[in-house]
Chain A
Amino acid sequence: MSHQDRQLVEAVLANAPSAFERLVREYQGLCWHIIYRMVRHPEDARELCQETFLRVHQHLRQYRYESGLKSWIGRIAYTVALRYLERKRITVLDPGRGEDSLDPVENLSDGFDLETAYSDSEVAACLHRAIEALPPLQRTVLTLYHLDELSIDEIANITGLATGTIKSHLFRTRLRLREQLETVYGVSP
């Protein structure tokens, strides 16, 4: 919990002018990444983002400075998105993919220079499609780790999962993306 965050929270609780707007501006990016990655529907994601900040405002008095403000707000955003997915009966985790996709660690070829064979944009487009096709939880964990540069502990605080589980998701999903990339571009073992 940084000193700035504490000051910001106290300013919001004291109803200081534009304090809450500052808080929203500070954390809207994180909320958007969590919710949009989970929900994937832009309009619904925007509404859920607004709902998240309304909840933040409503419950800010209950915030005890035990975790970082970022994690606390992220946790609310994650819960809001999770409830939305539950209402829509969308599974957060893909139960069909797991152990089987681990074996290729040893099988993948190292002897093929993919980037010289295909342009960056082709590779990027292929990867974006693969990322979009990931289950909501894996997609969100990867985004928080790589785009928001959150630590594994912070992601664990937000999602309520164990750090080992977060590491496992990161490991398997990155491996799967690499595997898919090589499959698409015909890199054979």
Chain B
Amino acid sequence: MNHETPRDDAMEREWALQEQAARAERLGLDARDDATLQRYRAVVRALRQPLDEDLPPDFASQVAKEIRRRPADTMRLELYLSWALLGTLAVVLLGLIVRYSSLLQAWLSNPWLVALAICFTLPALLGKLPAVTRRLGCKPQHRLLHYISNLRTFSSAAINASTSSRVL
């Protein structure tokens, strides 16, 4: 099928007639003598008729009700899935600990490695503390923030010290 706009003269005239009929029906203009225009107006009139079937009058409220019902279901499913995922992770973690317990013991017996792990995890945990307190609704105290900041500086210094001592 050719999808181009009508372009030759006959087509242009026909298109103009169709559009004239559409405009006349839209504006409710009086009928004129042109027979072709009248036929197009009959076509347009039929096309402007409401459809034989319609949506129920309470369709909008039904859909809104369905929307209100759905988030609870979706949330519940997400909650179940999260718990299932957490359970799986816990089992895997436990399995890994059991499997590599001897290796872990060896690592834990090395104080430098333990100190290094603490130095990496402590700043990350403390950095999250203000966000957690904000979420819980309590304002973090200025002194506490100062203390956290000092701790983070201290732990960074400790990392540097431990790295340089290992290099030496």
Contact = CB atoms under 8 A, between A and B. Distances in A.
Interface of A: 18, 20-22, 24-25, 28, 32-33, 36-37, 42, 45-46, 49-50, 53-54, 57, 93, 95, 98-99, 102, 105-106, 108, 110-115, 120, 123-124, 127-128, 131, 142-143, 145-147, 149, 162, 164-165, 167-168, 170-171, 174-175, 177-178, 181-182
For the side of the interface on B, what is the size category?
35 or more
A15 to B, nearest CB: 10
Contact of B55 (A20, A49, A120, A178): A49
B93 interface: no
B42 A164 contact: no
Given A21-B61, A42-B53, A165-B3, A110 B66 contact: no
A178 B59 contact: no
Contacts of B54: 32
Given A24-B64, A99-B1, A114-B38, A106 B59 contact: no
B29 to A, nearest CB: 15
Contact of A20 (B2, B51, B67): B67
A21 B55 contact: no
Interface stretch (B8-16, B97-105, B111-119, B155-163): B8-16
Nearest to A168: B3
Contacts of A164: 3-5
Contact of A168 (B2, B26, B47, B48): B2
Given A21-B61, A111-B35, A174-B18, A142 B47 contact: yes
Contacts of A115: 38, 42
B56 interface: yes
A24 B38 CA distance: 37
Contacts of B15: 167, 171
Given A49-B59, A181-B39, 15 more contacts: A32-B55, A33-B51, A50-B59, A50-B62, A108-B36, A111-B35, A112-B35, A120-B42, A128-B46, A142-B47, A149-B26, A164-B5, A171-B6, A177-B43, A178-B43
B54 to A, nearest CB: 7
A46 B66 CA distance: 14
A181 B39 CA distance: 8
Please name the 10 residue pairs, one residue from A and one from B, whose CB atoms are nearest each other, closest first: A127-B46, A98-B1, A146-B47, A24-B60, A21-B64, A165-B3, A25-B60, A42-B53, A177-B43, A53-B63
